Amino acid sequence: MPPSGQDLYTLEWVRYAIRDLRSARCLAECSTDLNLAGNVYWMAQQAAEKAIKSLLFHHAIDFNWTHNLEALRLKLPETSPMRHANLDLQALTKQGMEWRYPDDLPDEPSPEEAVEALTVATTVVELMSSELRDLLSEAGLGL
């Protein structure tokens, strides 16, 4: 059975989450030479945000448009493993947004901070993929 309209929309958000995570990984690989830690952090935040939003769309949950990952996560149903995962989404939200623009903070994040952001984002995308396993399998989409 082909995916419904709602499932197609969810899948688009999943694709973007996966793309942003892959972008963060690629940036991280060349970050040591180019000091791209801020870009890694931003793309990691975006991957996590889109992964959580894909779950909200999947569950047909209304939410305010925000970059606040913790606020988005708290909208998920109690049955969602993402809701109860031990993740520091507040730091990913705050630092991901602050390091995006030049006037916000004087220094870029350290490479270690960027790696931590990438680790959190990877966990978020993996949790989303696990929760949407059947839909992603039917669509031939995966990490």
pTM of the model: 0.90
| Domain boundaries, position 75 | 5-139
Q: What is the mean pLDDT of residues 68-96?
A: 92
Average pLDDT, the chain: 88
- Helices marked H in the chain: 5-34, 37-58, 69-73, 81-84, 89-98, 111-131, 133-139
CATH code: domain of residue 134: 1.20.120.330
As for how many domains the chain has, the answer is 1
pLDDT band at 135 (very low <50, low <70, confident <90, very high): confident
pLDDT in tens, 83-119: 999 999 998 887 767 666 666 655 778 888 889 999 9
pLDDT in tens, 4-16: 788 889 999 999 9
